[in-house]
Every structure is written in structure tokens, then in C-alpha cells.
Amino acid sequence: MEPRSSLTPSAEEPSSITRAALRSRLDLIVADRRWRASVPNLEALVARCLEASWPWLDRDRVPAFLLAGDHAIKALNATFRDKNKPTNVLTFEENGAFGDGDIALAYETVRREANASGKKFPHHFAHLVVHGLLHLAGHDHHRPDEARLMEMTESRILARLGVPNPWRMGGGRGA
């Protein structure tokens, strides 16, 4: 699957009808209640991330989201990636003709990263939601050119959400 270039998003933005459909299709499982305490209007932020990312997605896609703790994400990472440690975000492609993929995030890891980088937790969370969506759309960051394209695309999408560029040096607490 070839990702769309960050310079050439789809001309189509979701219409208000499509936005309503996107929000109605949103499947958000909050397995760790700390997510709700840390991210005001959690569902609305995830929906806004999806809407802002829409022009860069490879197709009409509304993945399921699992917001859990490190223990659950570590188990998924061990089972599906053979890595016995938690990670910030995991993405899973859709299963054949069923579903639009899955994105799972680990609370403690995301919290640690936000604190270490001086970013607001909701901003870092939004960045990782966008990051996961781009992975499902075919973007990757194994090579420097891929990483740069993905970072540029993330920055453009996050700007649409009013989230500072996470890749800019000195972003501090505002990022």
C-alpha cells in the first residue's frame, strides 16, 4: 500500500454528513480510566484527529481504538510483535474484509514520554493517534526519507488541530 505524500493530500475533506458518519462509527474502548482523567473530551479529540487526518488516509477508514495501560499493551506487543515490553502505540491492519484496523495506546508510556519531552499530555496523545492513523494508511519511518515524510505529514495534520509541531526543537510545555 503506497501512502499519500504529505504534499498531496486528497482533495476530498469529509463533509458534515461524512463527519457525522465518522463520529458514529468511532469505536473507542477505554480500558484504563486514567485516559479520561487526562484527556478532556476524549472521544471528541479522537474524532477530530481522524477528521484532520482524513485527506492523508488511504481510504475511508475508521479504526477501533484501545486506550489501555502498559500491562495490556505489553501483552499485545509480546503476542503480535515478539517484543516483551510496552510501547506508546501499536497499529494493526484490518483483518481481511473486516474492520478498518486497530490502534492501541499505553497510558503510562504516553504519560512518561509527554513528561520527558515537556509536552502537554493531550497534545502528545493527539500526535500518537495521528501517527497510528498514518501507519494504517501505509506510512512508515524505517528509512530517513520515510521518517521525514511521516513527520512532515504529522506536523501538517497536528497544525489543523492547533497542536504545536512535535518535531520542532524547543517545543516545551506548549507542544
124-168, pLDDT tens digit by residue?
999 999 999 999 988 888 888 988 999 999 999 999 999 999 988
32-71, pLDDT tens digit by residue?
999 999 999 999 999 999 999 988 887 777 889 999 999 9
Q: Which residue from 104, 125, 93, 79 is spatially nearest to 28, judged by alpha carbons?
A: 104
User: What are the residue ranges spanned by the domains of the chain?
Assistant: 16-166
Whole-model pTM: value is 0.86
Give the DSSP letter string of the chain. Answer: -PPPPTTS--S----HHHHHHHHHH-EEEE-STHHHHHSTTHHHHHHHHHHHHGGGSSSS---EEEEE-HHHHHHHHHHHHS--S--SEEEE--BTTB-S-EEEEEHHHHHHHHHHHT--HHHHHHHHHHHHHHHHTT---SSHHHHHHHHHHHHHHHHHTT---TTSTT-GGG-
Q: State the Cα–Cα distance between residues 172 and 21, nearest whole angstrom.
A: 36
Query: Can you name the CATH fold of 16-166?
Result: Collagenase (Catalytic Domain) (3.40.390)
